Amino acid sequence: MSRFDLAIFDCDGVLLDSREANRAYYDAILEEFGRGSMNDKELSIVHMRTAEESVKYLFRDDLAVQKEALVYTQTLDYTSFLDCLIMEPGVGNTIESIRPPMLTAVSTNRSTTMSAVIEMFGLDKWFDIIVCAIDVNNPKPDPEGVFKILETLGVEKDRAIYIGDSVVDEMVAYRAEIPLIAYKNRNLRAMFHVEHFDQIKTILSD
């Protein structure tokens, strides 16, 4: 019997390698307003934030243009960038091997683009609940999304574990007081550090 009843996964950086998709998306927004492409530091920052937070950050030096950019993002169809998304190896096999009896969920800072991602990769067949930024008042690193998942599924926090790849995920797990599996990031404080989904499967099956 597993020591956990629920596994909560981050989406970008864990289930999906979305770095290049995010690069293409935000560079397209910058180009629309005559800006150059993001550098690696900027990409790393927007990779962890909501779309609104990312645009505000990228245009932080000009509030007037920032406002226009926020409006523009509402018209930019993210589905044209979905081809850049890649599912991490072993996701399906791992999820299918642990459920049932384990419950699975997603907590992500994606917002309006999440429905397209769910449809493209069929994520709804693997997860009991998917909570994104538009489902909560306070996105990550606030633990509101995690608490919503726990309440909806009726799981106590000491029976849940969180799988994430960023400092934001580290903060979420800490604030929610649930253990963290750090995916491909050994700099995070975590109960476990893993490099591939086979290791996650082993941990969650013990």
pLDDT tens for each residue of 14-72: 999 888 888 999 999 999 999 999 998 999 888 777 788 899 999 999 999 999 999 99
- Do 101 and 168 lie in one domain? The reply is yes
- Do 53 and 132 lie in one domain? The reply is no
- Do 92 and 25 lie in one domain? The reply is no
- 28 falls within a domain: yes
Give the pLDDT band (50/70/90) at residue 1.
Answer: low
- 116 falls within a domain: yes
- Do 13 and 27 lie in one domain? The reply is no
Give the structural domain span for 168: 6-17+86-205
- 99 falls within a domain: yes
Single out the residue in 83, 104, 125 at which a domain terminates: 83
What three-state secondary structure class fits 162? strand
Q: Please state whether 87 falls in left (phi above 0), alpha (psi between -120 and 50) or beta.
A: beta
What pTM, to 2 d.p., does this model score?
A: 0.82
Tell me the pLDDT tens digit for each residue of 80-112: 888 888 999 999 999 999 998 899 999 998 887
- Do 37 and 73 lie in one domain? The reply is yes
- Do 102 and 136 lie in one domain? The reply is yes
- Do 93 and 61 lie in one domain? The reply is no
The total of structural domains in the chain comes to: 2
- Do 125 and 184 lie in one domain? The reply is yes
- 115 falls within a domain: yes
Beta strands in 2-159 (DSSP E): 6-9, 16-17, 86-87, 103-107, 129-131
